[in-house]
Structures are given as structure tokens and as C-alpha cells.
Structure 1
Amino acid sequence: MEKTIVRQVVLEAISRLQNERTDRSLFHLLQGKRSATSLQDAHFYGLEAVFGMLPLKKDRFEQVLHELEHAGWIKREQNLLMTDAGKAQLGSPFLLDDLGGELRGYPMQLWKRVSLMIQSIVCLDEKTFFIPVQQDSGVKEWVKQQIRQVAERSVWKAAVYQELNQALHQLTEREAILITYRLSGLKTGLSFPQLSERLGTDLLSLQLEFVIAWRRCLRVLPEDSLILSLGNDINHFKMTQSAQKTWDLLKQGYTVPQIAERRRLKKSTMEDHLVEIAMYAPVFPIEQFVAAAQYEEVIQITDRLQTFSLKRIKQELTQEMDYFQIRIVLARKVVHS
């Protein structure tokens, strides 16, 4: 069986799940479902990079799993299980870690800005009518405002060309092709379907390959580059907006009951927010929720069993703890690991 990028990423994701999650859990994670469970799975199992990056339709997802199972690389029981043959297909480093993840959205948001800026400035400089290559209204408005601040378009074009040229020479030929063929100037760049047909690659694998190429391009650019400066104001927050509001109130000194009452949050929703804050906040008052001895016991159990399964951890505990407290400990454990 051909090992396409889609199959490889799904296989790597299943490996990270340590035989502890169902196909439904993986489907929601790949879709980027912003539920407490999916966000935790992405965080606990090192899958934030793939969160939301494979928005497969259910039948296509089932097809990929069937292909992996038919190849003997996975088993589908109550949970998704890796076989020894599947483990032999894994390389290092994992491909999925180069995807970035829509949990942040920074690389693709920056691509939209860069591609539309280039197209707009080239066409305006040549006084040529064009249909914007990006239709996102927020991106189009941002580019309009930004162009007004460009004093000399020819200088801007030359600077961007030089930065891209130097960066692309540090990538593979295929990565450089993926980026340059997508860019628009006086001529519109190729769409993903057009590029997929030209390169003979399935559409979704090509889209993932492009994301990887663009992220690698960004990494080799100088920190003070003009291209990277176009993304200085892009939101890098990992928390959901609702959890961020709860965190802001906590920092202002409100207690958990006060926040729950003020925001009319159910107990379960408030707990989900606290776990999410514990996952992403640089500093978190964990002592308000878990005693030091409880924290240490959970850490010892999860290290000994090599698991993030809440049920398995709770069965091993000698101290009384609820699932919320275990989740809080696991969230901080990943932060500090």
C-alpha cells in the first residue's frame, strides 16, 4: 500500500494515542472539534499539531482507517490499536509535528495575508484589474489598510522577492514548487486541485504537504523579515475565547464561584475552562484545586503506567480525587514535561 501523507499522519496520530482512544475521538481531534475532550486529547497526547488539520468527511476517514487496518498496521477494537507492523512504518521525527495545527492558525493566516499582499501590490503597480486570491473579508480589509502604509511598492516587492528567494533555496525543490506555484502576481497561482493534478498527488495529501512546506519556509526566514512582520498581530492564544474570559477574571482576583455566577456557567463548563487554563497558562494556582500529595501520586501513576487514561489512573489512586482534579494534574504535567 502506498504510504500517502494522509495515511502517514493518521497512523502517527493513532500511535500517539497509545491504544487509549476510540476512532470517534480521533475523528473529532482531526476535525478540530473545540470540545473539552478533544482539546485535552490534543494536549495530553502531543497532537496539537494535527488538531483540525485533517477535516476529513466521515466516509473518507472510515476509508483511511480501513486501508490501515487492511494493511495490518492497526486494529479497530473498542479503541484504535497499533500493531507491530504499524509501528515499523513509523519514522522519526513524526511528519505530523510539521503541520502546526489550526488550534493556532498562524501559518495559514499569514499565508493568506502574504499571498494577497503580493498579488495586490503587483497588480496595483501594473494598474491591472484582478480578482483577489483570498476571499476572507478580514484578510482583504487588513491588506487594504496595510497597502496604504507601503511608501514605495517597488521597494516592497524587491524586499519580499529577496526574502522568499533566499528562503526557498533552503527548502527542497518540491517544497519550493508548492509555494511558488500557489503565489499570484499578474497571473493567478494554481489552485490546490490544479496543483494536485499537475503533481499527481491526492488533494488532501497535497494540502498537508503545502502546509509543511510553508511552515518550513517561515522557519528559515530571519526574525526581522518583512514577511514575518505581516503576522505580528495574529492571535497566538491557544485557549478558546470562553476559557480566556474565565482566565482574565481569575487574574483580576475573582473566585471560581464568583466567575461561575457572573458568567452563568455550569459546574462542568467551569471545570473544562479551568483544565484548559491549566493546559496553556504559564502560571496556574494548582494548589487551590489539588493537594501536593495528590499531585505527586497522579504523576507517579501516569509515569508508571505510561497512560493518560483517567479511568486507569483513578483505579490506582489511594487518595480520594475526582476526575476534574486528575485532569488538572495531567494538564500541568504536560506543560512541565
Structure 2
Amino acid sequence: MERTVLKQVVLEAIIRLRNERTDRSLYHIFQGKRSATSLQDAHFYELESVFGMLPFKKERFEQVLAELEQDGWIEKQQTLLVTEEGRRHVRSPFLIDDLGGELRGYPVVLWRRISLLLQTVICLEQRISFVPVQQDSATKDWVRNQLSSLTERSAWLRAVYQELEQALMQLSEREAILISYRLSGRKTGLSYPQLSGYLEADTGSLQLEFLIAWRKCIRHLPEAGLLMSYGIDIDQSKMTQSAKKTWEMLKQGYAVPQIAERRHLKKSTMEDHLVEIAMYAAVFPLNQFLSEEEYQDVVRVSDRLQTFSLKRIKQELTHEIDYFQIRVALARKVVNR
């Protein structure tokens, strides 16, 4: 079977799931589903880098799994399992760690802003009409605000060109082509289907290659430069807005029952928020939910069994700990690893 970037990323993700999650779970991670279970899976299994990065249709996802299974690289049982043959086709380091992840969203939002602003300025300079390369309202509003203070367009274009040229010179030829051909000038930048024939790769793989290339490009842009200044205000927090509100109230001294009552939250929702806070907060009041001894018990069992399966861990614990407490303990274990 042809080894594409798309299949490589899917295979790497399945390896990290440790034969403990279903294809449905993986699909939700790729889609970036903001549910407690999907956020938790992405956090526990080191898959935050691919969270929301493969928003393809279910049919395409199932097709990729079928191709991997047909060639003996994976097995679909109750969970997804990579075979020994499949492991032989995995390269190190993993590609998925270069994707960034929509949980942070920074590279994607920065690209939208820069690509639309560049297209807009060029077309205004040429006095030609155009169809915006980015259609989301947030990016369009941001560009409008920037244009009001951008008076020296020619000088701005020269500065952008110089920064991009220096950064692209640090990349491979293929990576530089992906970025430069995706940018828009008088004409719209090439689409992934258009690039597919030119670079001889499927569109899914090209999307992933582009994201990897763009993240590398960002690392070579001057930190105090013009283009990087356009990302200063981008929210890079992983926590959902609702969990953030709960976290703010906790820091203000409200007790958990008070927060649940004031915010009209169910017990299960409140627990999901607390686990999410435990996953992402630098400091977390762990002793409010389980003792240090109970926490260490969960960590020891998880490490010994090499698992994040709540059921398997609970069966081996020496303390009487409920599933919520196990989830909190595992969340802090990942933060501390």
C-alpha cells in the first residue's frame, strides 16, 4: 500500500491510543469534538496535536481505516489496534507532533489573517475586485481593522515579502512551494485539489503537509517582526469557555456545590469541568478531590498497566476511589509527566 502522510498520521494516532479506544473515539478527536470524553482522550493519549486537524467526512475516515486494515497494518475489533506489520511502517519522530492542533488554533488563525490581509492589500494596490480567500467573519473583521491603520501599503508589502522570503529559505523546496502557492495575490492561491496534481499527493495529505510547513515557517519568522505581531491577541488556551468560568469561580473561593448551583450545572457537567481544569491549569487544588496517597495509587496502577482505561485502573486500586477521582488523578499525571 502507498504510504501517504494522511495514512501515516492516522496510523501514529492509533498507536498512541494503545488499543483502548474505538474508531468512533478517534474520529471525534480528528474532528475536534469539544466533548469531555474527546478532550480527555486527546489529553491522555498525547493526541492534542491532531485534535480538530482532520475534519474530513466520516466516509473518508472509514475509507482510510479500511485501506489500512486491508493491507494488514491495523485491526478493527472493539478497539483499534496496530499490527506488527503496521508498526514497521511507522517512522520516528511522529508526524503528528508537528501539527500544532486546533486546541491552540494559533497557526491556523494566523494563516487566515495573513493570507487575507495580503490578498486584500495587493488587490487594493492594483485596484481590482476579488473574492476573499478567507470567508469567516472573524478574519474579515480583523482585516478591516488592520486596513484602517495601514497607510503605506507599498512599504508594508515589501516588509512582508522580506520576512516571508527569509523564512521560506529555511524550509525545504516542497514546504516553500506549499506555502507560497497557497498565498493569494491578484489571483486566488491554489486549492489543495489543484496542488494535488502538481505535487503528486492526495488532498488530505497535502493539508497536513501544509500545516507542518506553516508551523515551521512561523518558527523562522522574526519574533518582533511584522507578521508575528498579527498573532499577539490570538487565544491559545485549550480550556473551553464554560470550564474557564468554573475555574474563575473556583479561584475566587466558591465551593464546588456553590458553583454548580449558581451556574445551574448538573453533577456530571461539573465533574467534566473539573477534569478539564485539572488537565490544563498550571496549578490545581488536587487535595480537594483526593488525597496524595490516593493520587499516587492511581498513578502507580496506570504506570504499571500502561493504561488510561478507567475500568482497568479501578479494578486494581487499593483505595476506594470513584471514576471522577481517577479522571482527575490521570489528568494531573499527564500534566506532571
So what's the TM-score if we normalise by structure 2?
Answer: 0.98
CA distance in 2, matches of 1:78, 1:123: 54
What residue in structure 2 maps to residue 13 of structure 1?
13
User: Per-residue displacement from partner, 1:81-127 (whole Å, max 9, x unpaired)?
Assistant: 12111111111110111111112211111101000111111222232
Tell me which residue corresponds to 1:251. 251
Q: Distance in 2 between matches of 1:240 and 1:96?
A: 23
1:301 counterpart SS class = helix
Aligned-partner Cα distance in 1 for 2:201–2:217: 21
Q: Which amino acid aligns with 1:205?
A: S
Residue 201 (str. 1) matches residue 201 (str. 2) = yes
Q: Give, as a single letter, the amino acid of the residue that structure 1 aligns with 2:234.
A: I
Q: Distance in 2 between matches of 1:32 and 1:150?
A: 35
Q: CA–CA distance in 1 between the matches of 2:50 and 2:270?
A: 26
Per mean C-alpha deviation after superposition, the further-off stretch among 132-141 and 265-274 is 132-141
Residues 1:107 and 2:107 are matched in the alignment:
yes
1:228-243 superposed matches below 5 A? 228-243=228-243
Q: Does 1:192 align with 2:192?
A: yes
Q: Identify the residue that residue 169 of structure 2 maps to in structure 1.
A: 169
Partner of 1:84: 84
Partner residue of 2:142? 142
Question: Secondary structure at the residue paired with 2:81?
Answer: strand
Amino acid in structure 1 at the alignment position of 2:186: L
Matched letter for residue 38 of structure 1: S
Give the residue type in structure 1 aligned to 2:193. Answer: P
Q: Does 1:68 align with 2:72?
A: no
Query: How far off is 1:199 after superposition?
Result: 2.3
3-state SS of paired residue (1:91): coil
Question: Who is 1:131 aligned against?
Answer: 131
The residue that corresponds to 1:317 in the other structure is 317
> Aligned AA for 1:109?
V
Name the counterpart of 1:58: 58
Q: Find the counterpart in structure 1 of residue 329 from structure 2.
A: 329
Paired position in structure 2 for 1:25? 25
Distance in 2 between residues matched to 1:62 and 1:187, nearest whole Å: 35
Give the drift of 1:200. Answer: 2.6
1:198 is displaced (CA, Å) by: 2.6
Q: CA deviation at 1:223?
A: 1.3
Describe how 1:39-54 pairs up with structure 2 within 5 A.
Answer: 39-54=39-54
AA of the residue aligned to 1:139 = T
CA distance in 1, matches of 2:78, 2:131: 50
Secondary structure of residue in 2 paired with 1:311: helix
Any residues of structure 2 matched to 1:284-303 within 5 Å, and which? 284-303=284-303
Deviations along 1:287-323, one digit per CA (max 9) or x if unpaired, are 0001011011111111111111111110000110000
Amino acid at match of 2:243: A
1:271 counterpart residue number: 271
d(CA) in 1 for partners of 2:317 and 2:189?
58
Q: What amino acid is the match of 2:335?
A: V
1:168-224 CA-to-partner distances (Å, cap 9, x unmatched) read 000010010011111111222112222223323211111111111111111111211
Q: For 1:81, what is the secondary structure of its paired residue?
A: strand
Query: What is the number of residues matched between the two proteins?
Result: 337
CA separation in 2, counterparts of 1:197 and 1:300?
51
Which range is displaced more, 65-74 or 172-181?
65-74
Which residue of the partner structure matches residue 215 of structure 1? 215
Specify the SS of the correspondent of 2:9. helix
Describe the SS at the equivalent of 1:64: helix
CA separation in 2, counterparts of 1:73 and 1:306? Answer: 22
Equivalent residue for 1:118?
A: 118
Letter in 2 for 1:178: L
Give the Cα–Cα distance (whole angstroms) in 2 for the partners of residues 143 and 195 of structure 1.
26
In the alignment, residue 114 of structure 2 is paired with which amino acid?
A: V
| Partner SS for 1:75 | strand
Q: CA deviation at 1:129?
A: 2.2
RMSD: 1.1
Deviations 1:212-243 (A, max 9, x none): 11111111112112111101111111011111
Once the two structures are overlaid, the 10-residue window that deviates more, 17-26 or 193-202, is 193-202
Query: Unpaired segments of 5 or more residues in structure 2?
Result: none
TM-fit CA distance, 1:151: 3.4
Whichever residue aligns with residue 28 of structure 1, its letter is H
Which stretch of the first structure deviates more once superposed, 26-35 or 147-156? 147-156
For 2:336, give the aligned amino acid: H
The residue identity in structure 1 corresponding to 2:313 is: I
SS at match of 2:75: strand
* Residue type at the aligned position of 1:274: L
For the residues of structure 2 that align with 1:274 and 1:204, how far apart are their CA atoms? 35
Contiguous gaps of at least 5 residues in structure 1: none
**Greater CA drift, 7-16 or 104-113:** 104-113
SS in 2 for 1:236: coil
